[in-house]
Structure 1
Amino acid sequence: MNRAITTLLAFVYALGISHGLACAGQPRNVLIFFVDDLRPELGCYGVDSIHSPSIDALASEGVLFERAYCQQALCAPSRISMMTGQYPDHTGIVDLFTPLRKVNKTAMTLPLYFQQRGYVTASFGKVYHHLRDDKTSWSEIPEPPSKKYADPNTLNGIAKRVREAKEQHLGVEKTRLAEKGPPTECFVTEDEGYRDGVVANQAIASLRENKDKPFFMCVGFAKPHLPFAAPKRYWDLYKREQFTVPSRERPDGSPGLAFTIWGELRAYHGIPQEGELSDEMTRELMHGYAASVSFADAQVGKVMAELDRLGLRDDTIVVLWGDHGYKLGDYGLWCKHTNFELDAHVPLIISAPTHSREQRSKALVEIVDIFPTVASMTGGDVPESCDGKSLQPLLQNPDQKFRSFALTQYPRGSTMGYSLRNDRYRYTEWIQAGTKRVIARELYDHQDTDTPSRNLADSPEQREHVFRLSQQLDAARRIENTNVNMKK
């Protein structure tokens, strides 16, 4: 009898119940797809011209959030906010160059949270911006494949330019430009000719290895981030003439702080160092971006197919999100790095067993909500450090209200822009760090468009509205800062 009891207890322990794993009827596995620079322009988001069958299929198996917003339109702080469930003012990281563990050795993160609950924690591809950040919290974190271009002629060309720049002592900046290569590439190759194809295979191998264990897996696809390089068959899904050059007109009355010089794109070979792009180059980049989206979509499909084949789908929460939005010539701008709607608005899909399927939610949600969502849905307690809220109520009833507004921020030197997005408007204040003085305001009406043509902040008819929004934003920031101080 004692031996039987001992055996039973060992079996219970192996199931993870004593580690706080999911209770009966709750999924125990978590699979999160990170997609870099992904606009919420996919088939499932109503853009039929984009070929995204795998992500569309995932949306049909869960809840698509129509109004999800990142906390900052920059890779490193956005991903760190997601992985900690904290706003950038809480993490203290608002730049591209600071890994989380460089400034906070003990912050609770998603991989650490699940590691402490007895999960296998695996990271493939671009998850954190600094790929090996939080490395002690991962069971698996293989070296990422480094190939960005598949065409050997392109690679040779880059090497030649770098060598010439060094031989001519052209300096660090021009050598860096030479290293970038062209912003697009269309090459006949298998998916594994590019990094994301290899990343998908790494994730598939891990699923096979860990199919009998509870796992928390993050799979990060770099595309459609620059360079817009993808196998030719994905380019062939589109025709160049189908892409329409967007208006380059900036909103009337917007402060200079609102805009960016899109230096990220200008670093690539063949892009002018100043001025606008030609219509021809704009269409080429839009074509390359669309091809890269379809390439990333195919990699999502491969991993999901293996999840199904292994019989793990009914026991796994699947999340797909984009780390921030992206501009493709809108307002004459490129890339991200602003508080505009195009930069802050992101795709978010959550598919979970026993929850709503093929549903859409118009609720305002934030990316800091992902951590508490997967924690609660796997039967765990939500850490007190999390600033977000569990989306589980919306996964059960997508039509209910959730929050009054979503917050985004972006710095310009010592000035921080804080942006509040409610049902209709985006309101932004630019606040100096030292004086705490508001030096510029923006108010955009998004009732009919993502690219409004006028900043309404100084309109006399909007004076009372701006006052109320300013009070609301100030109160939200005060609550956030109070929570930060309490959690230190």
Structure 2
Amino acid sequence: MKHLWRLPQVAVCSLALLCVLSHGMPFDAQADGQPNVLLFFVDDLRPELGCYGQHDIKSPNIDALALGGVLFERAYCQQAICAPSRASMMAGQYPDTLGIYDLWSPLRRTVPGVMSMPRYFHERGYETSSFGKVYHHHSDDREYWSKLPDVPGVIYANPQTLRSITRRHREARAKGLTKLALSSATKGPPCEAADVEDDAYRDGAVAQQAIDALRSCDSPFFMCVGFAKPHLPFSAPQHYWDLYRREDFHTPDRDVPKASPDIAFTNWGELRSYEGMPEEGPLSDAQTCELMHGYAACVSYADAQVGRVLAELDRLGLRDGTIVVLWGDHGYKLGEYGLWCKHTNLELDAHVPLIVSAPGYAKGERAQGLVEMIDVFPTLAALTNGSAPASCEGRSLEPMLKDPRTTIRPYARSQYPRGSTMGYSLRTDRWRYTEWVASPSKSIVARELYDHRDSQTPGRNLADEPGRQELVSTLSKHLDSRSRIAPRASRTGQ
């Protein structure tokens, strides 16, 4: 079995590395009671970290966590946007089952009686707590959280930035803009590097909330800690920007895949609404490299906060009795194809990082089998000596944690809506196949087929290529999109 490579030498202190490597004894559930669960949510995190082979990215604490568990190389979210992805993972159900495809549908308002992980662990007697951005709607599952404090901290810390935002807000209000337009018109810059300590920004303050809670929580606990970075704006303390040199970032190829349908792409999502971003057309090379630099700085900032929480877990002697999971809610585009943000079925948006460190299971291993985020719920149920609810549509990853060479899925599903048309996507070992299905006619209006054998960003849609008909037909049968299409339109707008 191939082990994780050695960690890169970095400037960020990684107490968690020493702690994780020093704890290797199997956990005995009968002797020590029910295992705790610590679940990290990281927004917009690409699977480009040191432990995933991206040695230019400085992520020593997440790398250390991977050395203490199993890294899943081929994990996929169910929809590449915050609210549906998080609701799907927490309920262990596909977006179609939940009926959640947009940012305006809280879990409990949409599916009031659904079984979720907070409810599941609450009803099993666990102390449940949520810090930072866990659900997209902060108050979701309020009745099942033992602790649900307000999200602390600020998005911007530079006084000059704050004055500029206040001025723009005042000007926008004078124009009589609607609430939604007002929010968009008064966004600050997409990047900020203030000379402050970690706790001055939101994620540092969230990490401190979690640390304080660890010092006082009762076992067993189910704790979710959500870090907003590297979500826009790319604001992080200056010392994380200083880990990278601007000249090391280069503009990626801006050409979209040939023969691909327009419906597959977006107009960048939220980036265009930030100060200084063009309303249409591409970014300059200088703007692109600044954003890439900011994204990398924010990854390292989020990584440091993961390390702080893990270090406290170790200091308290809780590591051997705690299952630790880290995942990204969806991927992200950083100028590839000339596109930004998420909101598509492309590989860059659906592919996410996933690491599971469970006492008594494999350590420092890599699993290459395809998995989905709905698999997390049944996995944690199994690892805590429970049974997954019948409502769960995922599959337990426990066999892969025992033997990372095991596979549990022949393919992974994702989806993304465009108004009343839903794009259903299937990822196999080699191929990503997508069908765009119109509702209510259930007609397929576009198809995509990309060969990912050698690239995350293949340059051509092969769906209509000669000689691909048999492959397309086979993948279409597995996808079975027309039987899944929901009757109602989505309000994502992207």
How far is the alpha carbon of 1:244 from its aligned partner? Answer: 1.4
1:78 and 2:88 aligned: no
Tell me which residue corresponds to 2:211. Answer: 204
Task: Measure the CA separation in 1 of the matches of 2:320 and 2:202.
Answer: 29
Q: Which moved more, 1:120-129 or 1:104-113?
A: 104-113
Q: How does 1:30-109 map to 2 (within 5 A)?
A: 30-109=37-116
From the superposition, tell whether residues 207 and 376 of structure 1 become closer, same or farther in structure 2 (CA, over 3 Å).
Answer: same
From the superposition, tell whether residues 175 and 476 of structure 1 become closer, same or farther in structure 2 (CA, over 3 Å).
Answer: closer
Task: Measure the CA separation in 2 of the matches of 1:174 and 1:433.
Answer: 29
Task: Measure the CA separation in 2 of the matches of 1:437 and 1:419.
Answer: 16
How far is the alpha carbon of 1:476 from its aligned partner? Answer: 10
Q: Which runs of 5+ in 2 are unaligned?
A: 1-27, 488-494
Q: How does 1:332-351 map to 2 (within 5 A)?
A: 332-351=338-357
For 2:236, what is the secondary structure of its paired residue? strand
Q: Deviations over 1:262-316 (max 9, x none)?
A: 1300010110100000000000000000000000000000000000000000000
- Aligned partner letter, 2:36: N
Q: Is the CA contact (8 Å cut-off) linking 1:41 and 1:50 kept in structure 2?
A: yes
Q: 1:318 aligns with which of 298, 303, 324?
A: 324
Q: Is the CA contact (8 Å cut-off) linking 1:158 and 1:178 kept in structure 2?
A: no
Tell me which residue corresponds to 2:133. Answer: 126
Task: Measure the CA separation in 2 of the matches of 1:322 and 1:282.
Answer: 23
Q: 2:453 aligns with which of 435, 447, 460?
A: 447
Task: Measure the CA separation in 2 of the matches of 1:225 and 1:56.
Answer: 20
For 1:439, what is the secondary structure of its paired residue? strand
Tell me which residue corresponds to 2:425. Answer: 419
Tell me which residue corresponds to 1:162. Answer: 169
1:387 and 2:374 aligned: no
Query: Which has the greater radius of gyration?
Result: 1
1:263 and 2:269 aligned: yes
For 1:427, what is the secondary structure of its paired residue? strand
Q: 2:221 aligns with which of 215, 220, 237?
A: 215
Task: Measure the CA separation in 1 of the matches of 2:482 and 2:401.
Answer: 25
Q: Is the CA contact (8 Å cut-off) linking 1:23 and 1:378 kept in structure 2?
A: no
How far is the alpha carbon of 1:175 from its aligned partner? Answer: 3.0
Task: Measure the CA separation in 2 of the matches of 1:177 and 1:113.
Answer: 37
How far is the alpha carbon of 1:177 from its aligned partner? Answer: 3.2
Tell me which residue corresponds to 1:281. Answer: 287
Tell me which residue corresponds to 2:468. Answer: 462
Q: Is the CA contact (8 Å cut-off) linking 2:442 and 2:482 kept in structure 1?
A: no
How far is the alpha carbon of 1:176 from its aligned partner? Answer: 2.6
Task: Measure the CA separation in 2 of the matches of 1:94 and 1:316.
Answer: 32
Q: Deviations over 1:1-21 (max 9, x none)?
A: xxxxxxxxxxxxxxxxxxxx9
Task: Measure the CA separation in 2 of the matches of 1:151 and 1:396.
Answer: 48
Tell me which residue corresponds to 2:444. Answer: 438
Tell me which residue corresponds to 1:195. Answer: 202
1:244 and 2:241 aligned: no
1:113 and 2:120 aligned: yes
Task: Measure the CA separation in 1 of the matches of 2:32 and 2:331.
Answer: 35
Task: Measure the CA separation in 1 of the matches of 2:379 and 2:318.
Answer: 20
Task: Measure the CA separation in 2 of the matches of 1:24 and 1:380.
Answer: 17
Q: 1:362 aligns with which of 362, 368, 372?
A: 368
Task: Measure the CA separation in 1 of the matches of 2:135 and 2:484.
Answer: 28
From the superposition, tell whether residues 33 and 371 of structure 1 become closer, same or farther in structure 2 (CA, over 3 Å).
Answer: same
TM-score, length basis structure 2: 0.91
From the superposition, tell whether residues 173 and 278 of structure 1 become closer, same or farther in structure 2 (CA, over 3 Å).
Answer: farther
Task: Measure the CA separation in 1 of the matches of 2:139 and 2:178.
Answer: 29
Task: Measure the CA separation in 2 of the matches of 1:220 and 1:118.
Answer: 22
Task: Measure the CA separation in 2 of the matches of 1:179 and 1:306.
Answer: 38
Task: Measure the CA separation in 2 of the matches of 1:289 and 1:349.
Answer: 21
From the superposition, tell whether residues 297 and 436 of structure 1 become closer, same or farther in structure 2 (CA, over 3 Å).
Answer: same
Tell me which residue corresponds to 2:16. Answer: none
Task: Measure the CA separation in 2 of the matches of 1:334 and 1:427.
Answer: 21
Q: Is the CA contact (8 Å cut-off) linking 2:169 and 2:186 kept in structure 1?
A: yes
From the superposition, tell whether residues 266 and 475 of structure 1 become closer, same or farther in structure 2 (CA, over 3 Å).
Answer: closer
For 2:186, what is the secondary structure of its paired residue? helix
Q: Is the CA contact (8 Å cut-off) linking 1:228 and 1:292 kept in structure 2?
A: yes
How far is the alpha carbon of 1:238 from its aligned partner? Answer: 0.1
Tell me which residue corresponds to 2:13. Answer: none
- Aligned partner letter, 1:440: A
Q: Is the CA contact (8 Å cut-off) linking 2:422 and 2:485 kept in structure 1?
A: no
Task: Measure the CA separation in 1 of the matches of 2:221 and 2:180.
Answer: 43
Task: Report the RMSD for the aligned CA atoms in angstroms.
Answer: 1.8
- Aligned partner letter, 2:227: F
Task: Measure the CA separation in 2 of the matches of 1:388 and 1:26.
Answer: 26
Tell me which residue corresponds to 2:303. Answer: 297
How far is the alpha carbon of 1:412 from its aligned partner? Answer: 0.3
Identity of aligned residues (%): 63
For 2:450, what is the secondary structure of its paired residue? strand
How far is the alpha carbon of 1:230 from its aligned partner? Answer: 0.1
Q: 2:152 aligns with which of 124, 145, 148?
A: 145
Tell me which residue corresponds to 1:429. Answer: 435
For 1:314, what is the secondary structure of its paired residue? helix
Q: Is the CA contact (8 Å cut-off) linking 2:437 and 2:482 kept in structure 1?
A: no
Q: Is the CA contact (8 Å cut-off) linking 1:63 and 1:350 kept in structure 2?
A: yes
How far is the alpha carbon of 1:345 from its aligned partner? Answer: 0.1
Task: Measure the CA separation in 2 of the matches of 1:152 and 1:387.
Answer: 48
- Aligned partner letter, 2:356: I
How far is the alpha carbon of 1:196 from its aligned partner? Answer: 0.3
Task: Measure the CA separation in 2 of the matches of 1:325 and 1:173.
Answer: 25
How far is the alpha carbon of 1:169 from its aligned partner? Answer: 3.8
Task: Measure the CA separation in 1 of the matches of 2:456 and 2:440.
Answer: 33
Task: Measure the CA separation in 2 of the matches of 1:402 and 1:252.
Answer: 33
Q: Deviations over 1:311-360 (max 9, x none)?
A: 00000000000000000000000000000000000000000101000000
How far is the alpha carbon of 1:103 from its aligned partner? Answer: 1.4
Q: Deviations over 1:3-61 (max 9, x none)?
A: xxxxxxxxxxxxxxxxxx95447751000000000000000000000000000000000
For 1:331, what is the secondary structure of its paired residue? helix
How far is the alpha carbon of 1:167 from its aligned partner? Answer: 2.2
Q: Is the CA contact (8 Å cut-off) linking 1:77 and 1:93 kept in structure 2?
A: yes
